[in-house]
Amino acid sequence: MPGAPARPGAIVVGPESELELQLGSTMRIRLLPGTNLTLPAPPGRWLGRTRRLEVRSGEAFGTTAGPLGFAFQLRTPEATATLTGTSF
């Protein structure tokens, strides 16, 4: 449903679907068919500012509108990357 809030946890996109997530005002993520990922909770105000998006399978494309203000990692079965304000 357009505009529905995304909650932290597992997200599985069906084989004939796509999903686009808007995370705050700084990040947008597009998930292609068959993608399975774990969406992290928002960062804490003072502590626990590192967040990790885990893509277990499938494809995710994202873009940010500049620095995020917290440490953000993208983890896949093949690699882990730290995002600093870019497209991935």
Contacts 24+ apart (CB under 8 A), 65-69: 65/25, 65/26, 65/27, 66/26, 68/26, 68/27, 69/26, 69/43
Which residue is listed with tokens 């449903």?
Answer: 1
Token couple for 77: 């079965």
What's the whole-number average pLDDT of the chain?
A: 85
User: Parallel, antiparallel, or unpaired: how do β-strands 80-83 and 19-23 relate?
Assistant: unpaired
- pLDDT (tens digit per residue) in 47-80: 667 888 899 999 999 888 877 777 888 899 999 9
pLDDT at 46 over 70: no
Name the pTM for this structure: 0.82
Question: What pLDDT, on a 0 to 100 scale, did the predictor assign at position 1?
Answer: 60
Q: Which residue has the higher pLDDT, 19 or 47?
A: 19
The dihedral over CA atoms of 68, 28, 2, 53, expressed in degrees to the nearest 10, equals -80
